[in-house]
Structure formats: C-alpha cells, structure tokens
Amino acid sequence: MQRKLILPLLLATVAMPVICARLQEVQAAPEPGSAAETTSLRDRYREIFNPGHTDEEEAALRAKLPFDSISLQRTPCFGTCPVYSVTLHRNGEAEFEAKEHLPKLGRFSGKLDVSTYGRLCYLIEQSRFQDMKDRYQASWTDDTTCIVTVTGGGKRKEVSDYGSVGPIELWAIQQIIDSVRESLSWKPVP
C-alpha cells in the first residue's frame, strides 16, 4: 500500500515546480480571444481610430502598422464571376487589376488613407488570420477561389478559400477588402 503512494508523491514533488512555473507563464499571457488580448490589441491601434492626423503623425502611424501589404484575388468560375486582384499597401498606395466581368477592365492605381488601412490591419489581427489554415475548399466544382495574402515582418501568409467555405472571420476580411476597393477612386495605369 505504501509503495503505491510513494510513486505519485514523488512524481508530484518533482513535477509540481515545473507545472507551477508553466502555469504562471500561461496566466501571464492573455488568452487568445480574451478581453485582455482584445484590449491590448485595441490599445495598439488606438491612435488609428482618432481622426485628424497631421502628415507627420500619419507617417508615424503607417510605420507602426504590422503589415506591408494586404491583397485579395478572385479567380474565374464557370460563369460570370468577377476576376480581379487588389493590393493595398501600408504606404497608402493601392493597385487594382480588373481582368474579367467588371464594368472597366485594366490596371488601376489609387490612394488609401491610414485610418482605413489601419482598421483593416486591426481586423486581420483580431480575426487571427495568421492562425487560419492555408486552404479552405468546398466539395463542389466550378466555383471561384478568393485568395487573401498578407505580408509583413518578413513573413507572408496566404489563405485560399474555394467556394466561400472558410471561417466567418475570413469572409469578413474578404468583404472589407472588397468594400475598400469599391470606395477608392481608381485611375487607369498607362
């Protein structure tokens, strides 16, 4: 009977300091998706949400943003799905290439304000885009694929969504990028 108690007590004595140290590490970091993590993220972006930045403030805000570029590409389907790509850059430049099934085809450039780009960066971080799978795919055929690509900090993350079956957070990112694309004034690129 005593032998049966010695091994668990010995394991508990040896393992307890390691378990306690790890528990303290875990408790110190905000839990993903927790209010503490959201508050921390919101605090990092607080200045973006304030209106009326000077040119100097805007340049400083752009430099703090985590992503160099955010892109969305929509591929052909069996039908009349719009085919295009749009890339938004941290420096405020935007590129749009309309390939098929859009009112105007060609290459275009535009300008993007820091607040809009910053809010999109916030959404991407809050949605945990970096943790999403690289590919979501429907079981049917002849649908379009939407590819979102984010670059920054020497890293590149691409998420492919065939048939719009990815998580709702990915759908939200796609919709916001499309909304930004539709709101910009585009000039043809010669």
Write down the residue that tokens 């916001």 correspond to.
176
The answer on pLDDT for 159 being more than 70 is yes
What is the percent of the chain with per-residue pLDDT over 70, rounded to a whole number?
80
pLDDT at 12: 38
Please report how the helices 114-126 and 35-45 are oriented relative to each other, as an axis angle in degrees rounded to 10.
Answer: 160
φ/ψ (deg, to 5) at 80: -115, 35
Measure CA of the first residue to CA of the last residue in the chain; give whole Å.
Answer: 87
The answer on pLDDT for 1 being more than 70 is no
pLDDT at 51: 80
pLDDT at 104: 95
Kindly state the tokens that stand for 188.
């043809």
| Averaged pLDDT score across all residues of the chain | 85
Q: Do residues 145 and 161 touch, judged by C-beta distance below 8 A?
A: yes
Write down the residue that tokens 């809050």 correspond to.
126
Mean pLDDT of 42-67: 89
The answer on pLDDT for 59 being more than 70 is yes
pLDDT at 84: 98
Is the whole model's pTM more than 0.85, yes or no?
no
- Residue 143 carries which side chain, given as an amino acid letter? D
What is the percent of the chain with per-residue pLDDT over 90, rounded to a whole number?
69
Domain 43-188 has CATH 3.30.1560.10: yes
- Describe the strand order of the beta sheet including 83-89 as a list of residue ranges: 135-137, 155-162, 145-152, 69-74, 83-89, 93-100, 106-111, 187-188
The answer on pLDDT for 114 being more than 50 is yes
pLDDT at 38: 60
In DSSP notation, 127-139 reads TTGGGS-SEEE-S
CA triple 129-116-94, angle to 5 deg: 85
φ/ψ (deg, to 5) at 163: 80, 10
Mean pLDDT of 19-26: 41
pLDDT at 20: 41
